[in-house]
């Protein structure tokens, strides 16, 4: 039996512990972000998606990472401030973590390994890799960096999960 992301604790941008159990009952889009990437404008698309599903049981969780070409030089609250001021982010921005390799955060080890999550085998190959998680904390799909958060493919899958 695979576990749920609700079993993990992560740090917010201020270094405070956040239990992902706080998100039980919500559909989640989990994204590894970076402030100096060609895909960084997706932070704005994430804001648009967040607004579109406002009032529904949906949340976006942004996990900044410096794993790809050093494209996240900022730390902690500076990352959160960048996302809020430049892209009007109203979704949670967490502390910078590793998302691949042996030093990857336990959450990302779980998200990327079918043996752990029971469904998906997909390690982030770049910034803005996306995982879709259902209300019970099960990983149901993933999307590569080139897929915009506002793509029909992602929005339709979120709508379907919200209806279930």
For the annotated catalytic residues, the residue numbers are 37
Instruction: Work out the angle at residue 28's Cα, subtended by the Cα atoms of residues 61 and 155, and round it to the nearest 5 degrees.
Output: 110
d(CA 148, CA 20): 24
d(CA 72, CA 117): 27
Instruction: Work out the angle at residue 125's Cα, subtended by the Cα atoms of residues 121 and 130, and round it to the nearest 5 degrees.
Output: 65
């Amino acid at each position: 039996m695979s576990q749920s992301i609700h079993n993990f604790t992560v740090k917010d941008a201020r270094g405070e512990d956040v239990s992902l159990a706080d998100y039980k009952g919500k559909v989640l889009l989990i994204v590894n972000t970076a402030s100096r990437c060609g895909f960084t404008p997706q932070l704005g698309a994430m804001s648009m998606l967040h607004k579109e599903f406002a009032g529904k049981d949906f949340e976006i969780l942004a996990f900044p990472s410096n794993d790809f070409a050093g494209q996240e030089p900022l730390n902690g609250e500076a990352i959160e401030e960048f996302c809020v001021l430049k892209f009007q982010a109203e979704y949670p921005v967490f502390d910078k973590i590793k998302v691949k390799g042996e030093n990857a955060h336990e959450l990302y080890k779980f998200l990327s390994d079918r043996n752990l999550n029971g469904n998906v085998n997909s390690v982030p190959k770049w910034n803005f890799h996306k995982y879709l998680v259902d209300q019970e904390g099960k990983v149901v799909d993933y999307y590569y960096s080139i897929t915009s958060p506002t793509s029909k493919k992602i929005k339709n899958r979120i709508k379907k999960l919200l209806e279930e």
